[in-house]
């Protein structure tokens, strides 16, 4: 890779990092290209970038960002997911890692916390924002629907 290509990659990564709400690091130990592409497709809706990148280049992209701690996780060849929806990324990575033992979740960072693999797995079990909204909507609508049912049955009685 030429010097100008490297600097273009670093600046592209920096732009994506600025708008990210999470960064996750994954190690790839012999995953087939087909499986890796399947993971990339699953992550596409919830990430701005998911790619294998040289650690040195990614560490340069992390400088002067709030995600600088992520460089501690980068010890082996890694793939990096720059998330637009961090919680959804944890769900996809945990599900994929269960069925593909060649993928290892190293860790990541969401908000202000540096996360290890166990924390990412725990986050993946939390309900998504849409699921929480649906639950709240059900809770709010339930009393009104009960009143409507009771009123309807009372009207049929007379």
Tally of CB atoms within 10 A around 102: 13
Q: Does the structure show a pLDDT above 90 at 110?
A: no
Q: What is the pLDDT of residue 158?
A: 58
Q: Does the structure show a pLDDT above 90 at 149?
A: no
Q: What is the edge-to-edge ordering of all strands in the sheet holding 113-116?
A: 47-53, 78-83, 22-28, 103-110, 113-116
Name the token pair of 78.
């890694």
Q: What is the pLDDT of residue 93?
A: 92
Q: Which of 81, 73, 88, 71 is nearest to 17 (CA)?
A: 81
Average pLDDT, the chain: 87
When pLDDT is cut at 50, 70 and 90, the band that residue 26 belongs to is: very high
């Amino acid at each position: 890779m030429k010097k100008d290509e490297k600097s273009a990659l670093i600046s592209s990564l920096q732009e994506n990092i600025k708008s990210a709400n999470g960064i996750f690091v994954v190690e790839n130990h012999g995953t087939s290209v087909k499986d890796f592409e399947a993971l990339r497709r699953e992550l596409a809706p919830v990430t701005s970038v998911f790619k294998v990148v040289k650690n040195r280049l990614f560490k340069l992209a992390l400088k002067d960002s709030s995600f600088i701690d992520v460089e501690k996780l980068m010890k082996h060849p890694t793939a990096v997911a720059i998330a637009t929806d961090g919680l959804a990324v944890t769900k996809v990575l945990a599900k994929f890692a269960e069925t593909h033992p060649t993928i290892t979740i190293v860790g990541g960072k969401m908000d202000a916390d540096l996360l290890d693999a166990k924390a990412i797995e725990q986050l993946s079990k939390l309900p998504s924002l849409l699921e929480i909204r649906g639950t709240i909507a059900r809770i709010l609508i339930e009393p009104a629907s009960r009143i409507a049912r009771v009123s309807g049955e009372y009207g049929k009685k007379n």
